[in-house]
Amino acid sequence: MMLDVLQSHYKNLSKFTIVGIVNTLIDFSVFYILHDICDVYFVVAHVCAFFIALVNSFIFNALWTFKNLKKDQLFKQILSFVMIGLIGLGLSTCSIYVAGAYIGIYPAKVLAMLVSFAWNYTGSWLFVFKD
């Protein structure tokens, strides 16, 4: 069953992954600048980086991945995307906070991003950009 889902979502999942890679670069860059250069507490740096990447994510996923930006429902889509993102932020922040103590900040950040990726794709597909 899971294989059928992956096959039916191959193109969108591939595009979502590409957008996710770009978002990861944005996220890690902002996190690095805030945490390592500006000495901002790692949870605060994580949250700031997440929101900057979230804006990029909405734009590219709406226009390219799902190609389902509905101008008459734009506010609803943005609100839904932000809500999905906030849940993803909660999941990823818990992950980085807990795992950071055991495996270090950057490996925990990678784990947090994987958790967030799985949630955000599912939420975007089911609730934000559904047909």
Q: Read off the pLDDT of residues 43-78 as tens digits, 9 standing for 90 and up.
A: 899 889 988 998 999 999 888 888 877 888 889 889
Q: What pLDDT, on a 0 to 100 scale, did the predictor assign at position 2?
A: 56
Side chain identity, residue 17: T
The pLDDT mean for the chain works out to 87
Phi, psi dihedral angles at 16 (to 5 degrees): -60, -35
Write the DSSP assignment of 37-77 as a string of letters: IS---HHHHHHHHHHHHHHHHHHHIIIIIS----GGGHHHH
Given a cut of 90, whether residue 35 has pLDDT beyond it is yes
